[in-house]
Chains A and B, each alone.
Chain A
Amino acid sequence: MKPIPISAEQSPLLFLELLYKLRVRDVMVRDLVTIRRDASMRDLQRLLQTRRVSGVPVVEDKRLYGIISIEDLIQALEANRMDEPVSQFMATQVITVDEDMPLSIGLSTCNKYEYRRFPVLNARKETVGIVTARSINTRLLMELFKELGRIENEGVQTPVQSDSCSFNSFRISPSDFENAGKAATEIKTMLQQRGVEPKMIRRVAIAAYELEMNLVVHSDGGTLTFRADEGEIQLISNDQGPGIEDVNLAMQEGWTTANEWVRSLGFGAGMGLPNAKRVSDEFHITSEIGAGTTVTIRNILAVRPDHKPSS
């Protein structure tokens, strides 16, 4: 059985800590879609359609006047009043949250009401953002992944697979040829489940496999960490030594320090790092003798046509 990543007594604290550490401004959407009071309901209809949101704050010169949603639009449609201004339909009693509020307090405010979006005001009462369940969830997940990354350094693996994010971390033992390649296989499966385009899956799988084989062949043991969200895929290979003497040399095709035994297994041809770089949009390597090597790879995902912006 896999070890539990966080002690059961500690885990609620981890979540609570995040709720207190993060502020409303950390989880709000800053790219605000707004409308003016004098805009017509027909304008609102077009705005909701083009920006694919279900409601917007009514704002002029950063000042918040109200909030209007698709429900108000339906009312206007039914009453055949689409040419009337937004100000006739908007809700003026708007529940707002302050950008400085700890997330815990912001959440309890949001939970008291049945609304789906809450405009965020700064100290000068200017509208600076909006929070929705989605924006909060996404950010909380990201923060949890960071925490998991920290825990992973202590040698514990905790895979996460959700719509917005995938995360997994693999402990790779030196010379463990029996299990070599398993991490790359699992990463490939997670990407397939995410519905990533096949060519990109292949690129990431190749990079993951090369990094994994490098850890098996050359390192004193390390971790391969995988993270994917809607925008990018990241692989981080991190080992505890021995370190590469000359990184530039290691990046040259065909240059290798692998022994015959490793070559008899089909690897050690000196193509690993150059090939991993070939299939990556961004490639960084740092290494220090005695300390270890870290390789970070990023691949940027093209926005899919069916991609829905957050509301």
Chain B
Amino acid sequence: MKLPALFDATQAEVLWIAPDPNKIDVQHVISSDLMSDVLMMDLEHPLLLTSLVSDQSLRTAHVVEAAAVLIANDKTPPPQMVQLAAELQIPLARTALSKFDAAVVLGKALAR
């Protein structure tokens, strides 16, 4: 599924996005606040759903070549995190949904 459609489904506010987001196709979601666990998963270009607001979410996403990072629980990443997203070219968005609700919405959207 296209990344913008997933952001729409979770009513996400997009903080940084690649110039051509419709080219980003997402098939997998990793939902975790534990970056160590994210690093253990072998999934192709997953969307990282997390409530961990720190540079480490983006750095981890970069290392596992995640398609995007979606921050849940209505948290707002600080400006330098948005800047890092642009630097690492990783789409970053935030949603007011809880991590569980966001995961349910994403799961339903991908199952369609």
Contact = CB atoms under 8 A, between A and B. Distances in A.
Interface in A168-197: 177-178, 180-182, 184-185, 188
Contacts of A265: 52, 54, 56
Contact of B36 (A182, A184, A188, A275): A275
Contacts of A206: 39, 63-64
A198 B59 CA distance: 17
A266 to B, nearest CB: 4
Main secondary structure of the interface of B (DSSP, over half): helix
Given A206-B39, A272-B36, A180 B63 contact: no
A268 B23 CA distance: 35
B36 A181 contact: no
Contacts of A185: 59, 62-63, 88
Interface in A65-86: none
B35 interface: yes
Nearest to B80: A178
Interface residues of A, number: 26
Interface size of B as a range: 20 to 34
B34 interface: yes
Given A185-B88, A210-B39, A275-B36, A267 B56 contact: yes
B98 interface: no
B64 A177 contact: no
A271 B54 contact: no
Nearest to B32: A266
Nearest to B38: A266
Given A266-B34, A267-B35, A275-B36, A202 B65 contact: yes
A209 B59 contact: yes
A263 B54 CA distance: 12
Interface of B: 33-37, 39-40, 50, 52, 54-57, 59-60, 62-65, 88
